[in-house]
Chain A
Amino acid sequence: MDLRAAYSKRELNEQQFTSISNNKIEEILKEALFREGRKEALSWALDSFSSLELDLDNVETETSSSSSTQRFAERLLLNVPFRDVVLTKALLGYFCEYNAEKVVELISSSSSSGWREFFLSDDDDDERKKAFFQSNFRFDGEHLKGAKAICSFSLRRRNTHWHHLRWRNNKSQSPVICATKPGTFCELDCVQTLRGSLGEDDEFWSSEEFMKSLKRNGGEDAKVLILSDIEYFVSILYGKLSRTSSTDDNNFSELHVRSYLFSFLKKQNHLITCQKLLPFISNETDVLKLANNLFTKKDECKSLLGCVFAGVEWQSVEDFVLAIALTFRARIFAQILKDCNNEEILKQEIVLIDASKSKLNIFCQFFIARLKINANVLDIEEVMRKSGIEFKRVALEYIEDFEDDEDSVQSIKKSKKKRKKRKLMMTTTKNKGEEHN
């Protein structure tokens, strides 16, 4: 490649090229980058993680068997620690929202059921109780959901638990009556029963009957319950992760939750994962950690993505964000600089920039080349010619003749659209003419 190409004679006469240190160039670019706001600049860096799914396969990875999303999930869980409360809760919320059936599994495997507290709020008009228990007693005896669980559980454990049931108007019913006429359960005071000793009994909440009611309808009913109060389930799971939960269950431990989260993230859509989680990383150094650990030092760069992420350890968030701006967002960053005063950068002699020291210097060098090309100080054709890239100019009129060229870039489509529009206008005009006639 040769970037000494073609300063126009006019520019050579007018411009006095100067040379400043690499650090000064980086400083100028960083100042311009962060001028609009640090958050905005950081969002570019976070967005770059989203493109991993598309490009990761172009990077030769040490463990080629693991998919891009698996690697990202692994690195995210390993490098962004659970001490980040905001991010951890966002992750748990994402888990509850997209994997409710696993949440049911986890909560139900606890010896002291989280379901009891969920249903036993002080509010008698709690819609959750109504929707799952109260509203599902049927006069024909075909009870549903929680109602069915109470009936089946009480009948099966009638010797030990029947006295826990509370009836309306204190009119108790016998198990025999209820077994022969199941509709009699409609007389049950559901709220008082649940708030009484039946509700206090862990045996009911961990019973086969209650579990069955949660799994009914393919787990959809349980999903609705979880989605109705994600915050509650997040707090239970967070208690386990932060080890503040008082209960000690073999089937519902910190390790279990972590393992569920890992399996979940591995299977999720990478783009959605990025959108749901990355904005919640509260510590900038965690972003840096993630960027520096996505690939190993043995990984090679065969794409722009590999250049930015593989075999490099960014020393600061600012360096990493600048690298993103100079590569993935180069076109828009150049546009921003065009609006600012970028004369000082345009005066830099590209070949005098020492690009041997770091990747950031390489990115700076080519970014300045871009600025010069945009400002017509440098000629792209001559750059290609001197770099041995063969090319052919194509006039726009010529392109319009390629009707079936599917791979043409957007501009061709636009020109086709314009032509079609012209044709349409002509047809319309013609039709109008016919109408007039």
Chain B
Amino acid sequence: MNNEDMLQWRIIGDGDDSLVYSKNDLVDVVLERFIVKACST
């Protein structure tokens, strides 16, 4: 297990601060957010 596997992230100001993301989940969430924003502008 490398160091990144030991880490998780919370996105602050997201409404639900209790959500904790693994790296893969975080990438999904962040990139999806970017895509939606890019498509709607």
Contacts and interface: CB of A to CB of B under 8 A. Distances in A.
B7 to A, nearest CB: 6
Contacts of A301: 36, 39-40
Interface of A: 1, 3, 300-304, 306-307, 327, 330-331, 355, 359, 362-363, 365-366, 369-370, 373-374, 380, 383-384, 387, 389-396, 399, 405, 407-412
Given A362-B39, A399-B20, 11 more contacts: A301-B40, A304-B36, A307-B35, A307-B39, A307-B40, A327-B35, A362-B35, A393-B8, A407-B16, A408-B18, A408-B19
Nearest to B1: A396
B40 A391 contact: no
Contact of B38 (A300, A303, A362, A390): A362
A349 to B, nearest CB: 17
Contacts of A330: 28, 31
Contacts of B11: 384, 389-391
Nearest to B38: A362
B18 A391 contact: no
Interface in B1-37: 6-13, 16, 18-28, 30-37
Given A303-B36, A383-B30, A411 B22 contact: yes
A329 to B, nearest CB: 11
A411 B22 CA distance: 7
Contact of B20 (A363, A366, A369, A412): A412
Residue of A300, A331, A389, A412 contacting most chain B CB atoms (<10 Å)? A389
Contact of B35 (A363, A389, A408): A363
Given A330-B31, A392-B12, A409-B25, A300 B20 contact: no
Contacts of A391: 9-12
B8 A399 contact: yes
Q: Chain B interface mostly helix, strand, loop or mixed?
A: helix
A411 B27 contact: no
A384 B30 contact: yes
Contacts of B8: 393-396, 399, 409, 411-412
Contact of B22 (A327, A405, A409): A409
A294 to B, nearest CB: 16
B22 to A, nearest CB: 5
A393 B38 contact: no
B9 to A, nearest CB: 5
A392 B18 contact: no
A399 B20 CA distance: 9
B30 to A, nearest CB: 6
A380 B13 CA distance: 18
B30 A380 contact: yes
Contact of A408 (B20, B28, B32, B38): B20
A409 B10 CA distance: 11
Contact of A331 (B12, B24, B33): B24
B36 A1 contact: no
Given A393-B9, A407-B18, A373 B27 contact: yes
A369 B30 CA distance: 11
Given A392-B10, A396-B8, A366 B34 contact: yes
B36 to A, nearest CB: 6
A366 B31 contact: yes
Contacts of A399: 8, 20
Contacts of B7: 393-396
A328 to B, nearest CB: 10
Contacts of A1: 34, 37-38
B39 A380 contact: no
